[in-house]
Structure 1
C-alpha cells in the first residue's frame, strides 16, 4: 500500500501491521522516501546486497598492500622504461 508521509507518521502501528501482506511504501510529494518491509525480507535483501558487492582492482591492491605490511614483505616495483614503442601514440 502507498502512504503519504504525514499519514504514515500518524498511523505507524497500522503501517507496521500491514507489512505482513505487502511492503508499505511511503511518499513525500509523490517521491518514494521509504519502504517498510518484513524483517526477514530485509535480511534477505542484505544478504543479496552483500553477495553483489564486486571487488575492484583497487580493492585487490589495497588487500595486497595490507598483506605485505602484515608479512613485512616489500613488493619491488621495477623502474619504468620510457623507450618502449607505443604504436597508438603515433600520428
Structure 2
C-alpha cells in the first residue's frame, strides 16, 4: 500500500499495523521518499549489508575471476599508451 506523507502522519497507527502484511511506501508529490518495513526485515537487511561491507576487495576479484573462468570469458586489456599530461 502507498501513503502520502500527510496521510501517514494522520493514520500512523494504521500504517504500523499494515506493515505486518507488507512494506508501506510513503510518497511526497508522487516521489517515493520512505518505506516502512517490519523490524525483522530491517534487521536482516542490516546483517546482509554488514556482511557485504566486510567482504575484502580481493575476495570480490576472486569471485570475478571464477565467474570469468566458468563462462570462458577473457577480459581484453588494451596496450598501455601515454597521454599528454598538462601538469607535467
Shorter-chain TM range is: 0.5 to 0.7
Shift of the alpha carbon at 1:46? Answer: 0.3
Q: Distance in 2 between matches of 1:89 and 1:36?
A: 52
Q: Distance in 2 between matches of 1:89 and 1:29?
A: 50
Q: TM-score, normalised by structure 2?
A: 0.61
Structure 2 unmatched runs, 5+? 59-79, 84-88
Which structure has the bigger radius of gyration? 1
Aligned pairs for 1:1-91 within 5 A: 1-53=1-53, 54-55=55-56, 88-89=81-82
Alignment size in residue pairs? 61
CA RMSD, aligned part only?
2.2
